Amino acid sequence: MPGFNLLLQVCLAYVAVLFAVAFWAERRARAGRVGWLRSPLIYTLSLSIYCTGWTFYGAVGYAARSGLEYLCIYLGPTLVMVGWWVLLRKLVRVARTQRITSVADLISSRYGKSALLGGLVTLLAVVGTTPYIALQLQSVTLSFSVFAGSAEDVWPAPNLHATAIWLAVGMTAFTILFGTRNLDANERHHGVVTAIALEALVKLAALLAVGVFVVWGAGGGLGAMAERINASPIAAAPTDGSRWLALTFLSGAALLCLPRMFQVLVVENSDERHLITASWAFPLYLALMSLFVVPIAVVGLEILPASANPDLFVVTLPMALGQDWLALLAFLGGFSSATSMVIVATIALSTMVSNHVVLPLWLRLRPEGATVSGDVREVVLTSRRLSIAALIGLGYLYYRFSGGGAALAAIGLISFVGVVQVLPAMLGGLFWRGATRVGAGCGVGLGFLLWLYTLFLPSFGPDVVFSARMMAEGPWGIALLRPHALFGLDALDPVVHAVLWSMVLNTAAFVTGSLVSFPTPLERLQGAQIVNVFDYTASRRGWSQSSVEAEDLLITAQRILGAAEAQSLFRAEARAQGKVGYLPEITPDFIDRFERRLAGSVGAATAHAMTGQMISGTAVSVADLMAVADETAQIKEYSTQLEQKSRELARTARQLRDANEKLTALSVQKDAFLSQISHELRTPMTSIRAFSEILMSADDLSSADKTRYSRIIQDEAMRLTRLLDALLDLNVLEHGKVTIAPERALLRDVIDRAVLATSAVNAAGAFTIDRVESAEGVEIHTDLDRLAQVFINLIANARKYCDAPRPRLRIRVTRLDGRLAVDFIDNGHGIPVDSQALIFEKFSRLSDQSAAGGAGLGLAICREIMAKLGGSVTYLPGQGGAGFRVILPDAQAASAA
């Protein structure tokens, strides 16, 4: 039997090795040789802190009591890991881009860097984790007691408490030494992680060694073992479906929400691709850890006396079989499980406590703010160290005063249910833009209260917090409110009951709160960035209008990040801007980066508050407002000052956007115009080139063909000329100075001229022109040639395009508000409504074959001419055909006849 002294020596030696490994890894990392310290293997092994002392010892006890149900605790995480693509990938990406330091920081950051929410989650985590730390102390002390009880040395009971105290002190020292080396909680704790990876191997090896020994040494091989399992009393316990479901969910959720798991899984992750390895390697690790649990439980129940505690079978079974060294190895495995959990959990919690409780309070209590005196760095480090000591101390106190009575597994599950209350806010925050701070606060708060009421407080036993009577009959005798049978659900297991009610009501409160509340602009920005993390590359900035000096920022940064790091940050930024020295231009971009860097040290909410104190500008920039501009109106809910500013900025933004749109439209128009010109010029040129090649290459052409083809060439050449004339004409009208030569004449004469000039157009077809000559006897005073050009165009168009079987054009002169109007209305199909706005644009020729001769410039020219003359030409809809109204210039129209 290993005596107490031997045990102590082994323990000390093991701890010394851990310290040495951690030191070595830190030195190596500091020297820049990170290498395999950052390998996917180390990452996967560090995840093994999921398997705590509870798992190591308690799983066997659990199996002895409830059969295979203990497996749920591993199956949940297995599913989450295997489905890493769905959830973990996003979580890790968000944490990296936002420099998240903990669960509390994630929640706070997502919901608008809310300090209050961060504090709430921290409180929840501390209350949920303290019993868990107590549990680890208990498991190690219990395993010590096994050796004490069997050793010859006298080892009085008080020594057990001394063991617990020494254990607590040792872990505190290790954690402070390696856990608070770097202020930047986002930096990897290489020493801690490497030591944990080593511990992961030790506990796996220990459990596998005991298992192999039990199956093949004591159990008689696989076949015999299977028979013993089926014959064992464990096999009699039925599987409880509701617990199976609830525990699988719970453990999967816990993998995401437990502060220590978030630390190793997300915060310590140095490369997203490590997740790929961990997605199968970690489930494999879990499977190996649980593989021999049932055999150990079965053989333990067979061999050991009925009074033996199944929670300690892992140690007592090898001992009873005379394998002292195996027992010692198993003890070390349990020791590893417990210590690694405590170390990481306290690092994670201390970061949360210092960033979300101590620093916000400290900032508030110092009215002069962050810029004036006081080394923030020292405050953060001290608060973190004190938190570590306090947390382990709390765990110790809990252990001492709870008396260690409850079965190990029970505390573990209670703790799980507590931390899992963060889940709805976390998942909602990752996937739902509509999740708000109010919703998250309601959900987490209500879940926390329900957990306290239905599970945590009753777990102290009857008459400690809740009286036995109250548990049985409900508070004030209201049966519906019995803590274990809320609203009458009394048939459920307490854990399932608590999971059900807390998760359902938590989620309901979260969703309802989010639906009825309205997020702040910062919340919406963060929400958009986090939910769409895969779409965003650059961050959107949160600060603008800085009146802060670079030097002030540098001073603050030095206080928080340390002089060397702050200076290198500033120098790098200055260099990137092309400046020499340490003081870069304070751009919003830089401030944003600066804030993020601070966030890595002190959490998002605190960093935001500190940066905000230094920068006396608006909290929202134009870019931010543009991002939420679709609901600009609702931003009015905020303080009047912000309202005014945002309106002003939104107006500026809108003007900018309008200007931009106009420029874009212009450039599009120009492109389209050039492309049209190209088409109109190239089309006749194509015919000309093709036919001239034909004429040149062919000797055997008939003279008729030769004439025909030459005519085509001539026609097309004339078409080109016409097109160029029209273009030039239009150009002159649009830009140049057109000389207008007004003359007096009768309107009738001008129309006569136009009708005559168009008689050659489409002369083959019968075409009737219907005029009322008496009304045309009006004297006008304008540029008659130009006006005639407009009329010719309109009449020619009617002759070309009127598709009625008996085409007919009505020309009517009317007087509108003292001005003369000439309407040209044919009896064809007219112009479709959606094209009516376009026909006056250049090259807007409606796709119609007979239009091939024209270039689509005619109406554009008409419009320009009429504008120059002081009149107008418009399309006249609703005339049963194509109708155009020419309104003649005002002053020049004078009645004569």
Partner 1 sequence: MPDQRDKPLFLARQGYRQRRVIDAAWVLPVFGAFLLLVPVLWDLGPSGSDAPRRLAERGVYIFGVWALLVGGAALLGRRLRDVASPPADEAGAPQGDAHRPDPAAAPDDGPV
Partner 2 sequence: MGHHVLLIEDEPNIMEAIRFFLSRDGWRVSCHSDGATAMAEIGRVRPDVVVLDVMLPNRSGFDVLRDLRADPDHGALPVLMLTAKGQAKDRSRAEGLGASDFMTKPFSNAEVRDKLRALVGRVD
Structure tokens at 640: 């009047």
- Are 396 and 164 contacting, i.e. CB atoms less than 8 angstroms apart? yes
Sheet containing strand 872-875, strands side by side: 768-771, 808-816, 819-826, 883-887, 872-875
Options 44, 114, 248, 797; binder of partner 1; rule CB under 8 A: 248
Report the 10 Å Cβ neighbour count for 149.
Answer: 9
> What x-and-dash track marks residues 542-581 binding partner 1 by CB under 8 A?
--xxx------------------------------x----
Alpha-carbon gap, residue 112 to 751, rounded angstroms? 74
- Residue span binding partner 2 (CB under 8 A) among the ranges 62-70, 199-207, 463-471, 690-698: 690-698
Residue 777, Cα to own-chain centre: how many angstroms? 76
- Are 550 and 584 contacting, i.e. CB atoms less than 8 angstroms apart? yes
Comparison of 628 and 822: residue with beta carbon closer to partner 1: 628
Q: Does 181 bind partner 1 (CB under 8 A)?
A: no
Q: Does 229 bind partner 1 (CB under 8 A)?
A: yes
Residue 143's closest CA among 131, 160, 158, 165?
160
Residue 391's closest CA among 176, 190, 108?
176
Output b/e per residue, 612-628; b: 16+ Cβ within 10 A.
bbbbebbbbbbebbbbb
Which listed option, partner 1, partner 2, none, makes contact with residue 93 (CB within 5 to 8 Å by class)? partner 1
Which listed option, partner 2, partner 1, none, makes contact with residue 582 (CB within 5 to 8 Å by class)? none
Alpha-carbon gap, residue 104 to 266, rounded angstroms? 13
Residue 42's closest CA among 300, 397, 282, 211?
282
Q: Does 224 bind partner 2 (CB under 8 A)?
A: no
Options 165, 245, 685, 745; binder of partner 1; rule CB under 8 A: 245
**Residue reference for tokens 């101390």:** 393
Options 85, 166, 325, 431; binder of partner 1; rule CB under 8 A: 85
Alpha-carbon gap, residue 58 to 665, rounded angstroms? 71
Q: Does 212 bind partner 1 (CB under 8 A)?
A: no
Question: What's at 50, amino acid-wise?
Answer: Y
> What x-and-dash track marks residues 606-645 binding partner 2 by CB under 8 A?
----------------------------------------
Comparison of 382 and 687: residue with beta carbon closer to partner 2: 687
Residue 417's closest CA among 182, 220, 250?
250
- Are 129 and 388 contacting, i.e. CB atoms less than 8 angstroms apart? no
- Residue span binding partner 2 (CB under 8 A) among the ranges 97-105, 679-687, 759-767, 768-776: 679-687
Options 119, 283, 441, 603; binder of partner 1; rule CB under 8 A: 283
Per DSSP bridges, beta strands 779-783 and 808-816 are unpaired
Tell me, letter by letter, the H, E, C secondary structure of 5-16: HHHHHHHHHHHH
Q: Does 617 bind partner 1 (CB under 8 A)?
A: yes
Q: Does 211 bind partner 1 (CB under 8 A)?
A: no
- Residue span binding partner 1 (CB under 8 A) among the ranges 131-139, 198-206, 487-495, 541-549: 541-549
Largest CA distance in the chain: 140
Q: Does 241 bind partner 1 (CB under 8 A)?
A: yes
Alpha-carbon gap, residue 167 to 339, rounded angstroms? 9
Options 232, 251, 415, 459; binder of partner 1; rule CB under 8 A: 232
Measured over the CA atoms of residue 698, residue 702, residue 707 and residue 712, the dihedral's sign is negative
Interface with partner 2: number of residues (CB under 8 A): 24
Residue 780, classed as helix, strand or coil, is: strand
Residue 587, classed as helix, strand or coil, is: coil
Which listed option, partner 1, partner 2, none, makes contact with residue 179 (CB within 5 to 8 Å by class)? none
Torsion of Cα atoms, 666 then 671 then 673 then 678, to 10°:
170
Report the 10 Å Cβ neighbour count for 493.
Answer: 15
Alpha-carbon gap, residue 193 to 260, rounded angstroms? 12
- Residue span binding partner 2 (CB under 8 A) among the ranges 35-43, 519-527, 670-678, 764-772: 670-678
Q: Does 852 bind partner 2 (CB under 8 A)?
A: yes
Q: Does 806 bind partner 2 (CB under 8 A)?
A: no
Helices 376-402, 115-150: inter-axial angle, 10-degree rounding: 50
Q: Does 847 bind partner 2 (CB under 8 A)?
A: yes
641 to 680, contacts with partner 1 by CB under 8 A? 649, 652
Interface with partner 1: number of residues (CB under 8 A): 70
Options 683, 762, 872, 892; binder of partner 2; rule CB under 8 A: 683
Phi, psi of 758 (to 5 degrees): -95, 0
What spatial distance separates the first Cα and last Cα of the chain, rounded to whole Å?
A: 137
Helix segments in 270-402, DSSP class H: 274-291, 293-303, 313-320, 324-353, 359-365, 376-402
Q: Does 533 bind partner 1 (CB under 8 A)?
A: yes
Structure tokens at 861: 């020219």
- Are 121 and 441 contacting, i.e. CB atoms less than 8 angstroms apart? no
| H/E segment holding residue 814 | strand 808-816
- Residue span binding partner 1 (CB under 8 A) among the ranges 470-478, 537-545, 549-557, 871-879: 537-545
Comparison of 44 and 556: residue with beta carbon closer to partner 1: 44
Least Cβ distance, residue 801 to partner 2 (angstroms): 13
Alpha-carbon gap, residue 72 to 77, rounded angstroms? 9
Alpha-carbon gap, residue 92 to 84, rounded angstroms? 10
Q: Does 480 bind partner 1 (CB under 8 A)?
A: no
Alpha-carbon gap, residue 676 to 691, rounded angstroms? 23
Options 67, 179, 429, 439; binder of partner 1; rule CB under 8 A: 67
Least Cβ distance, residue 293 to partner 1 (angstroms): 10
- Residue span binding partner 1 (CB under 8 A) among the ranges 311-319, 455-463, 586-594, 796-804: 586-594
Comparison of 83 and 853: residue with beta carbon closer to partner 2: 853
Q: Does 489 bind partner 1 (CB under 8 A)?
A: no
Options 116, 449, 481, 690; binder of partner 2; rule CB under 8 A: 690
**Residue reference for tokens 């097309």:** 716
Which listed option, partner 2, partner 1, none, makes contact with residue 535 (CB within 5 to 8 Å by class)? partner 1
Least Cβ distance, residue 861 to partner 2 (angstroms): 22
Helices 115-150, 313-320: inter-axial angle, 10-degree rounding: 20
- Residue span binding partner 2 (CB under 8 A) among the ranges 73-81, 294-302, 491-499, 672-680: 672-680
Comparison of 30 and 679: residue with beta carbon closer to partner 2: 679
Q: Does 426 bind partner 1 (CB under 8 A)?
A: no
Options 644, 655, 664, 675; binder of partner 2; rule CB under 8 A: 675
Least Cβ distance, residue 833 to partner 2 (angstroms): 18
Residue 33, classed as helix, strand or coil, is: coil
Q: Does 686 bind partner 2 (CB under 8 A)?
A: yes
Q: Does 302 bind partner 1 (CB under 8 A)?
A: no
699 to 738, contacts with partner 2 by CB under 8 A? 712, 715-716
Alpha-carbon gap, residue 108 to 684, rounded angstroms? 69
Options 535, 631, 817, 834; binder of partner 1; rule CB under 8 A: 535
Q: Does 536 bind partner 1 (CB under 8 A)?
A: yes
Least Cβ distance, residue 687 to partner 2 (angstroms): 4
Question: Under the rule (CB under 8 A), what is the footprint of partner 1?
Answer: 67-68, 71, 75, 78-86, 89, 93, 96, 225-227, 229-232, 234-236, 238-242, 244-245, 248, 271-273, 276-277, 279-280, 283-284, 287, 291, 294, 533-538, 540-541, 544-546, 577, 585, 587-589, 617, 621-623, 626-627, 649, 652
Question: Under the rule (CB under 8 A), what is the footprint of partner 2?
Answer: 675-676, 678-679, 682-683, 685-691, 693-694, 697-698, 712, 715-716, 847-849, 852
